[in-house]
Structure 1
Amino acid sequence: MKLDILAIGAHPDDVELSCAGTIAKEIANGKKVGIIDLTRGELGTRGTAETRDAEAAEAAKILGVSVRVNLGFADGFFMNDKAHQLKIIEVIRKFQPEIVLCNAVSDRHIDHGKGSKLVSDACFLSGLLKIETTCTSSNTLQAPWRPKHVYHYIQWHYLKPDFVVDITGFMDKKMAAVFAYKTQFYNPDSQEPQTPISTKNFTDSVRYRAQDFGRIVGVDFAEGYTVERYPAVESLFNLK
Structure 2
Amino acid sequence: MKLDILAIGAHPDDVELGCGGTIAKMVYENKKVGILDLTEGELGTRGTAITRKSESNEASKLLSISYRENLKFRDGFFINDNNHQIELIKIIRKYKPDIVLANSISDRHPDHGKAAKLVYDACFLSGLIKIQTNYNGISQEKWRPKHIFNYIQWNEEKPDFIIDISHFLDKKVEACMAYKTQFYDPNSLEPNTPITSLNFKKSIIYRAENLGRIIGCDAGEGFTSQRWIGLKDFENFV
TM > 0.5 fold call = yes
Match of 1:210 in 2: 208
Structure 2 unmatched ranges of 5 or more:
none
Match of 2:84 in 1: 84
Within 2, Cα distance between the matches of 1:238 and 1:135? 37
Match of 2:179 in 1: 181
Deviations 1:172-230 (A, max 9, x none): 00000000000000011111110000001011111111100000110000000000212
Within 2, Cα distance between the matches of 1:186 and 1:157? 20
Within 1, Cα distance between the matches of 2:204 and 2:124? 31
Using structure 1 for the length normalisation, give the TM-score: 0.98
Q: Which residue identity is paired with 1:222?
A: G
Q: Which residue identity is paired with 2:78?
A: F
Match of 1:145 in 2: 143
Within 2, Cα distance between the matches of 1:171 and 1:117? 28
Using structure 2 for the length normalisation, give the TM-score: 0.99
User: What percent identity do the matched residue pairs reach?
Assistant: 60
Within 2, Cα distance between the matches of 1:143 and 1:230? 27
Within 1, Cα distance between the matches of 2:10 and 2:51? 17
Q: Which residue identity is paired with 1:142?
A: Q
Match of 1:223 in 2: 221
Structure 1 unmatched ranges of 5 or more:
none
Q: Which residue identity is paired with 2:34?
A: G
Deviations 1:70-91 (A, max 9, x none): 0000000000000000000000
Match of 1:116 in 2: 116
Q: Which residue identity is paired with 2:228?
A: Y
Within 2, Cα distance between the matches of 1:233 and 1:134? 35
Within 2, Cα distance between the matches of 1:238 and 1:43? 42
- TM alignment of 1:20-31, pairs within 5 A: 20-31=20-31
Match of 1:200 in 2: 198
Within 2, Cα distance between the matches of 1:135 and 1:50? 26
- 1:64, CA displacement in angstroms? 0.3
Query: Secondary structure at the residue paired with 2:101?
Result: strand
Query: Secondary structure at the residue paired with 2:134?
Result: coil
The number of residues matched between the two structures is: 238
Cα RMSD, aligned residues only: 0.7
- 1:238, CA displacement in angstroms? 2.6
Within 1, Cα distance between the matches of 2:126 and 2:236? 31
Within 1, Cα distance between the matches of 2:93 and 2:25? 24
